[in-house]
């Protein structure tokens, strides 16, 4: 059970994330919320990571959101696209992007009974009507075809069909036009 001040901190951070508030704005919260002063953004992130049981990963990015300095670009000092320097005069990254890895997020979702039940929507709640209107991805021809297809990895059949277990998770990924920040030049 979370304490009242922990809930206040979580709610304040949720507001920060949902409304894209800067860390600078978040740092002003303790002057506004005097009953339960809100910790700094850094302290709040650490507290939330502890409560969640997993950590976000911070990556350096181009100031114009052209690229992230990961993988083969990890050691670069300037953007391949706009040539902007990676770091400021003090050697700090000019822009960073926080990413929460997928597997820990899925584990946390499955460990939460309410969330796990919601994730079984496609198996128990969704009503497919052949020839009817497409109401979500589970009405798509690709998904319907996968239901009749044996699951396999690199050509080796696994002995079951796609989505045959109600706990199976259908993940989708769309990257067209993706950029992690509002102000961007490249996608």
SS (H, E, C) 40-79: CHHHHHHHHHHHHCCCCEEEEECCCCCCECCHHHCCCCEC
- Domain identity same for 83 and 30: no
- Domain identity same for 78 and 101: yes
Residue that the structure tokens 């994730």 belong to: 119
Total tally of structural domains belonging to the chain: 3
- Domain identity same for 112 and 183: yes
- Domain identity same for 183 and 102: yes
- Domain identity same for 180 and 114: yes
The pLDDT tens digits of the residues spanning 49-70 come to 888 878 888 899 999 989 999 9
Residue 167 lies in a domain: no
Residue 166 lies in a domain: no
- Domain identity same for 83 and 96: yes
Residue that the structure tokens 């809100």 belong to: 38
- Domain identity same for 63 and 101: yes
- Domain identity same for 59 and 113: yes
Q: How confident is the model at residue 26 (pLDDT cuts 50, 70, 90)?
A: confident
- Domain identity same for 141 and 151: yes
- Domain identity same for 70 and 110: yes
- Domain identity same for 104 and 186: yes
Contact between 60 and 69 (Cβ < 8 Å): yes
The pLDDT tens digits of the residues spanning 102-138 come to 998 898 889 889 999 999 998 888 888 888 999 988 9
Domain that holds residue 36: 1-52
């Amino acid at each position: 059970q979370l304490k009242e001040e922990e809930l206040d901190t979580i709610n304040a951070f949720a507001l920060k994330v949902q409304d894209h508030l800067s860390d600078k704005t978040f740092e002003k919260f303790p002057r506004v919320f005097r009953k339960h002063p809100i910790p700094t953004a850094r302290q709040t992130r650490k507290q939330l990571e502890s409560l969640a049981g997993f950590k976000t990963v911070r990556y350096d990015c181009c100031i114009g959101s052209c690229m992230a300095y990961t993988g083969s670009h990890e050691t670069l000092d300037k953007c391949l696209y706009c040539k902007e320097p990676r770091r400021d005069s003090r050697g700090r990254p000019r822009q960073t992007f926080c990413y929460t890895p997928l597997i820990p997020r899925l584990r946390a979702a499955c460990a939460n009974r309410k969330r796990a039940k919601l994730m079984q929507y496609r198996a128990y709640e969704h009503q497919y009507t052949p020839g009817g209107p497409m109401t979500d991805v589970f009405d798509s021809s690709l998904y319907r075809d996968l239901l009749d297809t044996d699951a396999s990895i690199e050509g080796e059949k696994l002995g079951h069909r796609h989505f045959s277990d109600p706990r199976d998770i259908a993940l989708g990924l769309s990257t067209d036009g993706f950029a992690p920040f509002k102000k961007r030049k490249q996608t």
